[in-house]
A and B are shown apart, each in its own frame.
Chain A
Amino acid sequence: AQSVAQPEDQVNVAEGNPLTVKCTYSVSGNPYLFWYVQYPNRGLQFLLKYITGDNLVKGSYGFEAEFNKSQTSFHLKKPSALVSDSALYFCAVRDWTGFQKLVFGTGTRLLVSP
């Protein structure tokens, strides 16, 4: 079965510092990986995805993620954090069975302090 692990409930970083939000996955078949961000009382916004090709994927708002097949990881990164990046981040992998739904991690809360 497909699964996603986000080992950190919360990540704290100072504004201007680089940030990393960790994600590891387990999937049968080719990994289609996604990152979404959720602001309070809002739905999820798509940040970026890895389907194939370059291991470094660039997405919205300056975020990027690195696909590492050997470590089965897809960590989200940003070179310089902003206070406005504070939100809940979800990693997801596509389940290739049935409707090919997304399987989500438990989410990581990012808190960027001024």
Chain B
Amino acid sequence: ELKVEQNPLFLSMQEGKNYTIYCNYSTTSDRLYWYRQDPGKSLESLFVLLSNGAVKQEGRLMASLDTKARLSTLHITAAVHDLSATYFCAVAGETSGSRLTFGEGTQLTVNP
């Protein structure tokens, strides 16, 4: 059974600071997704990581994937209040098609 663990689950940080969210998963996978969710809203796709060593960047967010370590990171650079949201990683096992297993989410609060 594929398990996905994120840490931290709660993150409070000041504007301008850097931080990293970690996503570990338990079985072989070659596809990992990061999503953002604002309170009471749907999920917005941020990144799709398809191979070992993949790195994607969009604005102040950068995601990377290490399939050997079964680890993905979401790095936040110089945080701003607009980044406050819950961030989920989701993993598709090699035989599970589009069936994604989600982490519990990291609730990020960026304080002025």
Report whether chain A binds chain B. Answer: no
- Partner-A contacts on B (CB < 8 A): none
- Partner-B contacts on A (CB < 8 A): none
